[in-house]
Amino acid sequence: MITRKKLYFILVLFTVCVYLLVDFLSNQQLIKLEGYSSDERFQYSVDTEKFNDDINVVDSFGSCPDGNIITVGFGGQLGNRIWEYMSLYAAYQLYKDECRFYPYVPMEITKDMEVVFQKLWIPILQDLPEVCIQQREKIVIGGHDDIPVKELQGKNAVLELPKYSARYEFVSDYGFDNIRRELRFKPEYVNEVYTNLKSLKSTYYKENDDVVFVGMHYRGTDYVPHIRKYLHEKFEGPPTYEYYNKAMSFFQEKYEKVIFILVTIDTNWIDQNKAGFKKDANLAINPFESEKLKDLALLSHCNHSIISYGSFSSTAALFAGGTTFVYDLQIPLNVKGPILAMGLASRLPNWHVLK
């Protein structure tokens, strides 16, 4: 016989069971969701090398990234492209937590860079469903403006760094040694460089000698009017052999066995300056078949650098990682113009301006 008391007891028990079941199921759901989103986030914050084969993570989830997209415009030549990529990469790394950044790079930049570098990590902008971009507020900032951290907070916007971005300040803050791990030369380029350096060494020294290679670069041709356009009469003209001789003497005094390698495509400048270079130095002028990417790889694998200005040689000198001399344009860093090399020299202890 079911008494009132028993019925009451069963009812209470049933209610408790239902409550526990619902609670259990909803917790399951929560755990699952949390696992999902942190997973997605995780794939973006871990060491890039592990995920080189796993780009386009967001696409595989079939949804738009929940956070701010950071990207960059593109323009110019290889040197500009590399700096656009590095600016984006460094800005992302420095601000990813504060701004909930997801980086995307235009295909045009990746395509140029992946000729000489191994697979790059930043996902391609064009692989992102268009709807992910269309609905977002777009924020564009100037060449050396701060990242608008406050403005980005709580938003799902698109922040675009401008084309020709050359954020030496971000690159030096994040550290080029970290960027080096992302920008790895393809083995075929490196192998050719070592073969060339070895053969060059054999012209001057013995195989087992300790030799220091100093890469020198002169950026002439169209760049000279380009500088004049920005600096007008403040530009006293490009460097001559005198600047290079001064910097070469520094290395000759410091090291016993030095080989200097000068690379430039400006043959007029070579003709005008050739006779003036130091006679007591081992100087090879454009010693190998000249091609932009091979020149970059060659200069990047020297031990030290003497450069004029510009993004191409500034990149090579960063890769070389040694003492670097930069031609002193004697302009402040807050002007619009060719300030990249001088900007790096203002921040890196082993970079020096010289006139």
Rounded distance, CA 351 to CA 349, Å?
6
**In the complex, least distance from residue 191 CB atom to ligand NAG, rounded to whole angstroms:** 12
Provide the terminal-to-terminal Cα distance of the chain, rounded to the nearest Å. 108
**Out of 167, 217, 219, 301, which residue is the one contacting ligand NAG (CB under 6 A)?**
301
**In the complex, least distance from residue 195 CB atom to ligand NAG, rounded to whole angstroms:** 11
Q: How far is CA 81 from the centre of its chain?
A: 9
**In the complex, least distance from residue 197 CB atom to ligand NAG, rounded to whole angstroms:** 5
Number of residues that bind ligand NAG (CB under 6 A): 4
**Out of 83, 104, 213, 327, which residue is the one contacting ligand NAG (CB under 6 A)?**
213
Q: Where are the alpha helices (DSSP H) in 235-338?
A: 241-254, 267-273, 292-300, 311-320
Amino acid occupying residue 26 = S
Residues 260-279 that bind ligand NAG (CB under 6 A): none
Residue number of the CB atom closest to ligand NAG: 303
**In the complex, least distance from residue 317 CB atom to ligand NAG, rounded to whole angstroms:** 13
Using rule CB under 6 A, residue 69 touches ligand NAG: no
CA atoms within 13 A on the CB side of 59: 12
Per-residue contact string for residues 302-321; x = within reach of ligand NAG by CB under 6 A: -x------------------
Rounded distance, CA 323 to CA 247, Å?
10
**In the complex, least distance from residue 100 CB atom to ligand NAG, rounded to whole angstroms:** 40
Amino acid occupying residue 313 = S
Residue 133 or 293 having the CB closest to ligand NAG: 293
The residue ranges of DSSP E strands in 256-346, in sequence order, are 258-263, 282-285, 304-307, 324-327
Residue 258 or 329 having the CB closest to ligand NAG: 258
Virtual torsion, Cα 128, 130, 131, 134, nearest 10 deg = 120
Rounded distance, CA 346 to CA 250, Å?
20
**In the complex, least distance from residue 330 CB atom to ligand NAG, rounded to whole angstroms:** 31
Look up tokens 């090291």; give the residue: 255
**Out of 99, 105, 125, 197, which residue is the one contacting ligand NAG (CB under 6 A)?**
197
**In the complex, least distance from residue 206 CB atom to ligand NAG, rounded to whole angstroms:** 15
Cβ neighbors of 183 (< 8 A, separation 6 or more) are 82, 85, 86, 113, 117, 120, 319
Q: Which residues bind ligand NAG (CB under 6 A)?
A: 197, 213, 301, 303
